[in-house]
Every structure is written in structure tokens, then in C-alpha cells.
Amino acid sequence: MKKVRWGILGCGRIARKFAADLKLVADAELIALGARALSAAQNFASDFPAKHIHGSYEALASNPEVDVIYIATPHALHHQHTMLCLQHKKAVLCEKAFAINFKQANEMIAFAKAQNTFIMEAFWTRLLPHYIKAKQLIAEGKVGTIKYFYGEFGFKPADPVAPRLYDPALGGGALLDIGVYPVFIALDLMGKPDSIDATMTPASTGVDEQCAIRFQYKNGAIANLFCTLASNLASGGDISGTNGRIRFTHRMHGPSTQLEYYPGIVDTREVIPVERAQGNGYEYEIHHVNECLQNNLKESPVLTHEVTLLLMQTLDVIRATAGIRYVVD
Ligand SMILES: NC(=O)c1ccc[n+]([C@@H]2O[C@H](COP(=O)([O-])OP(=O)(O)OC[C@H]3O[C@@H](n4cnc5c(N)ncnc54)[C@H](OP(=O)(O)O)[C@@H]3O)[C@@H](O)[C@H]2O)c1
């Protein structure tokens, strides 16, 4: 099968992990790198070689040999960089948070449709084996009606701290960086909430250092979600229902978590075996995008545009409720 030729826009931290996983996908090729400065792209290429090394995002986006571009810049720049790639009719895999707000996300997706071009949010968790397995157990009725979800993500950034995490101009703060994970899982498993409550405590720059969120549903279900940049949490999750409970022991967003099932009211634990990722776990989303492109799809059937728009709309409500504002708002 013809290889899908990938470009990476923004040669930062996550781009390195992604590039390492690209090597694991047989029909994927890293063909081009784009950085603001040529030296940054060259430095990246010393670890992850590519045929084309560009010193501007424009040069990458206009490279005719590139099929799809992975956007790995800070959230506040996703809109601008996605629009640039779409202008050149490049397929786009855009990191989370997909955009700063719903309006931007809507424009990005509308433009992709107008250009008849593929776009997907890089919500890798949705494509990881442990999460797919948990969804399968839920579909089999192992949990019953979900009544409660608790999900958290917290870490204390280690030195050198990425400036974007606290910079309001770059969309800094816990919610858009890591709170997106428990919010996504609650929406995916329980649907759009009937009411949302949220509160945050600010870091010195004004962005949310911590954010606590509660979703309520007309059927009586509740989700409690939490994110923080102030301390290291287990970052696990619990999905409880009328028939049983599923637990992600730690780092539920990533492939290192353990999946446990607690049936009925008896506190017996079953460790559910799950396929282990070969790399960092991004290989699954890379493989999925490849498949979409090879089948000429313009939208992933799994991480649909609707999923991304509901997530962004919900993040807007959470931010308005908790008082998290950015200049673009
Ligand atoms: N899926 C995941 O597991 C995961 C994990 C971490 C982060 N992320 C997401 O990935 C995105 C990037 O995060 P990161 O941790 O890789 O960030 P980072 O290390 O700070 O890198 C961001 C890159 O963006 C480029 N950039 C362009 N304009 C910039 C500006 N004005 N200020 C700073 N950087 C600028 C830079 O690349 P050049 O100088 O090379 O052009 C920089 O290296 C974020 O949206 C984040 O939420 C996802």
C-alpha cells in the first residue's frame, strides 16, 4: 500500500513523541518538518530525519509531497495553523485542545468541509486499546446504566516548565491542557450534560491552575471532573453503574493505565487484559488517520466533527462558568 506522507508542524515536545511513534506505523512516512526557525527543524531532524526540512510553516503547508500535517503547536495557534494547512488542501490531525473556543473549532471544520479536506482532533485516548475495551464492556452491559463518573488529571510541571502551560496568550491553564481528558470521557460515555457547574483557582498569570467541574443529567447521573497543574495526581477514573464499576487505575488518558472491573456490589476485582502499546500510544491515532485517508474519508467515523464540536462547546460553558477567559473570547 502507498505510504501516507506526514508532515509535522511545530517541532516541540509532543512532536518528538509523535515522530517516534510514526516509525512504528508501517504505511506512514515522516516526509517533512516545519518549524519557525530552520535550526529548530534541523535539530529535530537529527533525531527524526525527514526528506524536507522547512524553516517556516508556510513552506511545509505548501509542500506538494505532504499528504497530512500533524499540528503540534500551542492551542491558541491551532486555528491559524490549521487554516494555513487547509488553504493548501492538506489533511490535518490537530492536537488537543483543538482550538481555544467553539467559534474557532467551527471555522476550522467548516473550512475543511469547504476544501473537501480531512480534519481530525488528535484525541488519542479514544483510539487506545484500554479505552476501546472499556467501551466494549459498557456496551455489553457490564456497568449497566452509568450513574457516576469520576475522572481527574493532574501533574506538577517539572523543570524546565513549558512556558505555554501558564501563558494566557497561548491558551495556558489546566482545563485546555489536561482537563480536556476527563471532560471528553464524560461526554463520550454519558453524553451532553443537562447542567454544568465549574469553579477554578488561578495561577499567578491568571490562567486556571486547578479546575473542578460537575456534570448533572436528568436521569440522575453525575460526573465529577478535576484537573490541576499544582500537584501530581493518579489521574485515574471510575465509571460506576447499576451493574458494576470500571476503574482506570492511573493516567487513564494514556496506554500505561490498568483496566479493572468490579462486578455487582461485591468488591471483587478483575484485571482486564489489554493490548499494550508498542510506542507512546500515538501509533493508534496515526494508523487510524492513515486508514481514513487511504479510504478517502474526509472525517473520522470515530473522532467525528460532532464529537470535537461538542467538546469545544462544553469547554466554553465550563470556562464561562468558572471564569476562565482568553483574549480571543
Ligand atoms: N496528545 C498528547 O498526549 C499531548 C501531550 C502534550 C501536549 N499536547 C498538545 O500539543 C500541543 C503542543 O504541546 P507541546 O507540549 O509539544 O508544546 P511545546 O513543547 O511548547 O511546543 C510547541 C511548539 O509550537 C511551536 N510554536 C509556534 N509558535 C509558538 C509560540 N508563539 N510559542 C511557543 N511555541 C510555538 C514551537 O515549534 P517550532 O519553534 O519548532 O516551530 C514549539 O516547539 C498543545 O496543544 C498540547 O495540548 C498533546
Domain boundary, last residue among 76, 100, 123: 123
Q: Kind and range of the H or E element at 57?
A: helix 57-61
168 is in which domain, residue-wise?
129-276+312-322
CA of 75 to the centre of ligand 1 (A): 8
Question: What average pLDDT does the structure give for the chain?
Answer: 97
CA of 136 to the centre of ligand 1 (A): 33
Burial 257-287 (b: 16+ CB within 10 A, else e): bbbbbbeeeeeeeeebebeebebbbbbbbbb
In the numeric block, the cell 486508514 is attached to 291
**CATH code (residue 63):** 3.40.50.720
pLDDT at 329: 85
Taking residues 222-228, what's their average pLDDT?
Answer: 98
Q: Is the CB of 77 under 6 A from ligand 1?
A: yes
Are the C-beta atoms of 153 and 235 separated by less than 8 Å?
yes
Q: Is the CB of 171 under 6 A from ligand 1?
A: no
Is a pLDDT exceeding 70 seen at residue 266? no
Q: Judge if 37 and 103 occupy the same domain.
A: yes
Over residues 173-218, the pLDDT tens digits come to 999 999 999 999 999 999 999 999 999 999 999 999 999 999 999 9
Domain boundary, last residue among 91, 123, 155: 123
CA of 138 to the centre of ligand 1 (A): 34
Total number of domains constituting the chain: 2
- Please give the model's pTM, rounded to 2 decimal places: 0.98
Q: Judge if 29 and 76 occupy the same domain.
A: yes
Q: Judge if 56 and 150 occupy the same domain.
A: no
Q: Judge if 106 and 135 occupy the same domain.
A: no
Over residues 11-27, the pLDDT tens digits come to 999 999 999 999 999 99
**CATH code (residue 201):** 3.30.360.10
Torsions phi, psi for 290 (to 5 deg) = -55, -45
Among residues of the chain, what percentage have pLDDT more than 90? 97
d(CA 41, CA 58): 14
Q: Is the CB of 96 under 6 A from ligand 1?
A: yes
Q: Is the CB of 184 under 6 A from ligand 1?
A: no
Q: Judge if 161 and 212 occupy the same domain.
A: yes
Q: Is the CB of 164 under 6 A from ligand 1?
A: yes
Over residues 62-110, the pLDDT tens digits come to 999 999 999 999 999 999 999 999 999 999 999 999 999 999 999 999 9
pLDDT at 328: 87
Is a pLDDT exceeding 90 seen at residue 264? no
Degrees, nearest 5: CA angle 290-292-294: 65
Q: Judge if 175 and 317 occupy the same domain.
A: yes
Ligand 1 binding pocket mutation candidate from 17, 22, 39, 95 (most atoms within 8 A of CB): 95
CA of 71 to the centre of ligand 1 (A): 9
Q: Judge if 137 and 167 occupy the same domain.
A: yes
Q: Judge if 141 and 214 occupy the same domain.
A: yes
Ligand 1 binding pocket mutation candidate from 8, 9, 14, 177 (most atoms within 8 A of CB): 14
Over residues 116-136, the pLDDT tens digits come to 999 999 999 999 999 999 999
